[in-house]
A and B are shown apart, each in its own frame.
Chain A
């Protein structure tokens, strides 16, 4: 990982690169004929190659700072007369990173160019364009392919996990394709998702997934990842805009940070075919310790229960029975190439990853086509076209966020009496009538399949009026549709479906249309001052709609259940057979949301050392109230590259960079349901009438985030040691909140009035990023990157009487219990629970609890990542650790599923609680600090061993083989499957944090693969 605010520690980037030419000079140099100069003093010869060692023809080699230069020949060789004063050469070629090499005392040099994909050295993608890395004044992290996490991933956000400072990424579940929670610089989401804005090649995404949700008697299913439609293998770089001076250009949608995703494109050259294939498997990373059959028998005696009732004679591993070793396979192929007039890249991908829970998995087909064409003799007119089409198919298990006393599949497996049978003698799953559900039956008698098809297409024509003025338009549409078919067999003993069966089909459509116009000015207006300015207009329209059909099996005329039957067909295939009573039909179309924006930016660079950036965006949104249709989002930031000052440059040669940055900006958030600002009447189900559901608020506006950032970038010893430190102070006000209305108000449990609450959420902290290249030579390389983030989160200024409650606990005896509050003087989502005072050893009953109070912070205060790379010749080893500290997790699974009182009903319990003080089986499931556990952990998240075979005969180029292990182990005291967990336990739209409830267990994944090019 690398932070682009400073020149990095990458070995190929020599210090002199920082005094590099402006883009303009480079362009001029490319188009000017190569001129020989008279004062020739000596000759330098050499060869320019690509990263595989093959010679590159037609490469421009210039004496740095002059127009003296030459082009390479067919095999990459060049010969150049250089002035006596020349100390370095600058080598540049389309599609490759420019490189500068020292020629002092050398007459022969070999220069291996790195392609753009690896480098992104000089130019960084920022909002609506690019900027020279040296010109950046904000806190921006860029990762390119080589920095990405390695392994098997279903969506590109996983490439970032643990690799950047200030960014916390938590996989919400182990289900392949499941959503993750991303928090950039702390948690400030009182409502909504708190997820950053994703921008794919200039197209901001909606942020929702088109996979339909599901609600059955077992609860609500977890969300799918909205980035599933992208193939991680097509991603060239990920840029995280962290501070408001960088994000403010995205205005009212940028408050939670912005992640810019850039896909790979073709490079000038012969057609190239890249191919990668990998395979592997996953298994469960860590298990929850429950009693095995013999311990269960002991426990029956221990608690004085009747073995005749509870010891059913077998010895089973119910969790093991629903798990599997899940195979995976992944194929990626891409054809790319092009000439000066046009480049292209077409890629195809296929991923099939089975989950570690049987009957779950994720399949994805992707196609990505990118072309960049230039027209006219002058090449001033061009068009970029980008098309991504993908389909993902998920097979899902009945693992819900909020299952009731029957739990979800994982809860059932943990609870199933290990002495009870799982299968009948004929091999069919055993069904014990009553409350407990055999997980094997649940698994076998449940089918849930979802398919999401996405097309993201954009066309972006541009015209360069001059070398310094360019107009560009972008027209994009992102269409995604999902269908989900779910059925529950009538043999399963879920009360609502027993003897009847259940079938549901849901569809959704999600569409975003966008039009952007920008005018870009980039000119050296005086010798010392370069101005890079942007003006833009953008219009975006969002549509979201869906349908749902469901029913239960038929009943006879006297009410006796008939059910869908046991014909072996999926019930969703003949929904017309269902009972008309209780059939559910519904459809919805969200109000169309339109967003209209005007924005501008100027980057001033004076003498390459004084930098100033200012941006302004005006956003108009139809979601806002009539009195507040437009919001304004300014930012300003400055940087001083002290190392460019003569007084330092001459004195401290080991100092490669010393740059100070400060910035301020304001961003917004408009994540609330469309239609919330106005009175809306909706039609209720089944002749239910017409009723007002929203409480109008004409003053509703965006939530405002102001952020201050101060940073320093230091590089020493030719960038062998680099350090970036940032302090940030983020202040969130005008909190968007679905307040309880003052009644009388629209009826219904979900009646709210969206308001901008008084209240301030402050996230402040420090981010550190340290890179050390300990050894870097032909044979050996040792490289460390460490990042750490310290965040403090606090809420103030809320109306005194207001305590926002969230963090819904679920399960038996926990109806309506909320474990978290948002209130003054505490971190967001602080746990608010009674304190557990142990168990009276003589009675086994609880000692009295101390009344509920603030007892813990679900938000980590420290995030850390460590990456170490070891290279020996062609063999390299990468290990990534990440850790999270200072947070608490509420273990709702232990609270409601595995508490000891369950054993009296013949259910399994947790080993740790059985081993403690002998507890009375009459203790209630009282939520308390008993189940609040430390969330600290250190995880070996990734080990990658790869061997670069290089060219293989005449055909295969740049081949490499690798073996990767993900989620190798975790060191933690947490008793659940994985401390890296976030079950969605929102109360209404107020999200929760740090609650774990019978989620899909985390997987350990092994991947073996080979990559090569033709």
Chain B
């Protein structure tokens, strides 16, 4: 008996000894030690994918850059789109430091900075090019953080998040971004557009130099000729590479297959249809009516005064876009650009009473989008008010799975041309590069008169016409707020928005949530 007991006791003690060391073992995730070196390319992919959160879709950076401007309105339509007034607050410039989109954009831009910084941890052994790409991604996210919030928090590679992140502000942050991009540009590859490349870095530097005066003084920016000549010189390098040309169709740049046919695109975020993507489908889902195909949530629209800046022949305003795997649209109804008037069932079969059937709204009234719209719609036609901008042709094949193919576009050739033209108008010296001319007028007309736009040549170009052209060419591409600030238009009047808003709105507030956890941040003045 004693033997059995002592054996049992031994067994128990052995178990004790074994279990005294308790360890948390990761089985589906990795510690930094488990990653080791040689896996930096996966980490870099993770950093690129992190960009989808702040940039893709129609929220966060998009909402802050477009809904606050004269390009986009997100009206409250009775039961729809109230969302506690957050969209109205953006358009009417009365947001505060708890605004959810402002909060989320700050966090997700910070996520990109962090993921890119992780690639640089020495123990992961990233190659020179991988490090350069990571530093570009980080600089790109820092640039947007600077542009929106004027304060850029950062961490050293491997630094624990329990430490308070250090912060660079305003011009100091800009100088850092410029020095980073300048340092890595030589190590970046030439292509493809969906990875950090030399021309993307040049575009980012152009934005930095063009807006340097803005970051120094947002209310009364001044522009130095040296900065403008930097913009022009960088533009010329991009143009001279010969890698970019106008697309056959303006909307090809945004179409599901834009990885291949978007020949103007310099820097994009890659989405792979049916495999993985960000929420870029929101560009059609938000605006589509419930009864349209693809079905949507019947929300945002364009403002009539902005719509009116387009000439009738301008193909960018809207056209019939033919592409594979979409509805047949055999009666050639306009399906991209600004949707106005009666909408149709584009598969043209037998949906509601025969071929080519006109759609109705949920009350049975014709689904005919009207020009006029108010920020709070109360009329009986509240479902159909507002012109709906369909900038990204929907990916019908993959819409259901949510992994849609349309790459999200950051930088395009026309933006480079328009920035060069603006730099010339702001005191830079015109130069000849490519076939686009050396004057602001020539540069602008090279875009307008291309067959893909067919907008007709302008007689003269000044800053005001250039500003309007930027609106027409780049609408809903996240640049409107930045442009309005630089051109002094952001404080109003804005249709359905403020007639004149407080200058504090030139910079977004640091989210209260972040102020609470990082004492190195200070609230921007006025909030």
- Hey, which bits of chain A sit against chain B, CB under 8 A? 305-306, 308-310, 376, 405, 433-435, 461, 463, 473, 495-497, 500, 515, 517, 537, 539, 545, 552, 555, 558-559, 579-582, 587-596, 620-623, 629, 674-675, 677-693, 695-699, 739-749, 751, 753, 799-803, 812-817, 845, 896, 899, 901-902, 904-906, 920-927
Contacts and interface: CB of A to CB of B under 8 A. Distances in A.
A594 B47 CA distance: 33
Given A812-B80, A816-B100, A594 B165 contact: no
A593 B397 CA distance: 43
Interface in B124-177: 153-155, 160-162, 164-165
Given A539-B19, A580-B274, A596-B22, A922 B379 contact: yes
A681 B86 contact: no
B79 A495 contact: no
Given A537-B16, A740-B514, A801-B516, A812 B79 contact: yes
Interface in B353-400: 362-364, 376-380, 382, 396-398, 400
Interface in B1-47: 1, 5, 8, 12, 15-16, 19-20, 22-32, 34-35, 39, 42-47
B78 interface: yes
Contact of A687 (B26, B111, B161, B275): B275
A803 to B, nearest CB: 8
Given A376-B1, A434-B291, A743 B79 contact: no
Contacts of B92: none
B372 to A, nearest CB: 16
B274 A594 contact: no
A699 B379 contact: no
B50 interface: yes
A744 B114 contact: yes
A308 B273 CA distance: 43
A747 B53 contact: yes
B482 interface: no
A926 B518 CA distance: 33
B114 A594 contact: no
Contacts of B5: 463
B155 to A, nearest CB: 5
A537 B16 CA distance: 8
A582 B85 CA distance: 34
Nearest to A694: B29
B265 interface: no
27 contacts: A405-B80, A552-B401, A558-B324, A558-B325, A559-B325, A594-B24, A596-B22, A681-B35, A682-B30, A689-B42, A689-B48, A691-B46, A691-B47, A691-B49, A695-B161, A698-B162, A740-B107, A742-B153, A742-B517, A743-B153, A744-B113, A799-B516, A800-B516, A801-B516, A902-B79, A923-B78, A924-B376
User: Which among B50, B84, B291 has the highest number of chain A CB atoms within 10 Å?
Assistant: B84
A232 B486 CA distance: 71
Closest 8 pairs between A and B when the two form their complex, measured CB to CB: A582-B401, A743-B110, A581-B274, A747-B111, A689-B45, A691-B46, A689-B46, A309-B364
Given A691-B47, A901-B79, A922-B378, A747 B112 contact: yes
Nearest to B114: A744
B111 A743 contact: yes
A813 B79 contact: yes
A688 B78 contact: no
Contact of B110 (A682, A699, A744): A744
B24 A690 contact: no
B402 interface: yes
B104 interface: yes
A742 B164 contact: yes
Contacts of A623: 24
Nearest to A902: B79
A901 B78 contact: yes
B81 interface: yes
Contact of A924 (B27, B30, B76, B274): B76
A572 to B, nearest CB: 18
Given A309-B363, A435-B290, A742-B518, A678 B31 contact: yes
B246 interface: no
Nearest to A588: B28
Contact of B362 (A434, A699, A802): A434
Contacts of A922: 78, 377-379, 382
B512 interface: yes
Contacts of A742: 153, 161, 164-165, 514, 517-518
Contacts of A684: 45-46, 49, 276
Contacts of B53: 747-749
B203 to A, nearest CB: 23
Contacts of B155: 744
B46 to A, nearest CB: 3
A902 B362 CA distance: 10
Given A591-B24, A678-B24, A696-B161, A495 B110 contact: no
B117 interface: yes
B209 interface: no
Q: Is the interface of A mostly helix, strand, loop or mixed?
A: loop
B461 to A, nearest CB: 41
B161 A675 contact: no
A501 B28 CA distance: 31
B83 interface: yes
A582 B400 contact: yes
A33 B483 CA distance: 103
A921 B515 CA distance: 41
A692 B516 contact: no
A623 B25 CA distance: 10
B108 A753 contact: no
A581 B363 CA distance: 36
Nearest to A849: B85
B28 A589 contact: yes
Nearest to B112: A747
B39 A690 contact: yes
Contacts of A589: 27-28
Interface in B87-122: 100, 104, 106-115, 117-118
A306 B113 contact: no
B165 A743 contact: yes
Given A581-B403, A680-B31, A692-B118, A687 B276 contact: yes
A679 B28 CA distance: 13
A650 to B, nearest CB: 51
A979 B396 CA distance: 44
Nearest to B347: A560
A620 to B, nearest CB: 6
Contacts of B100: 816
Contact of B84 (A515, A799, A817): A817
B275 A740 contact: no
A555 B400 CA distance: 11
B187 interface: no
A691 B50 CA distance: 9
A710 to B, nearest CB: 37
Contacts of B512: 801, 803
Nearest to B378: A922
B56 to A, nearest CB: 13
A843 B49 CA distance: 49
Nearest to B138: A744
Given A747-B53, A813-B82, A922-B78, A680 B162 contact: no
Given A405-B297, A742-B517, A744-B154, A690 B45 contact: yes
Given A581-B403, A622-B24, A689-B49, 9 more contacts: A306-B363, A308-B364, A591-B27, A684-B45, A698-B160, A803-B512, A816-B100, A817-B83, A904-B363
A753 B324 contact: no
B107 A690 contact: no
B322 interface: no
Given A582-B403, A689-B43, A904-B363, A749 B30 contact: no
B107 A751 contact: yes
B513 interface: yes
A305 B297 contact: no
B295 A495 contact: yes
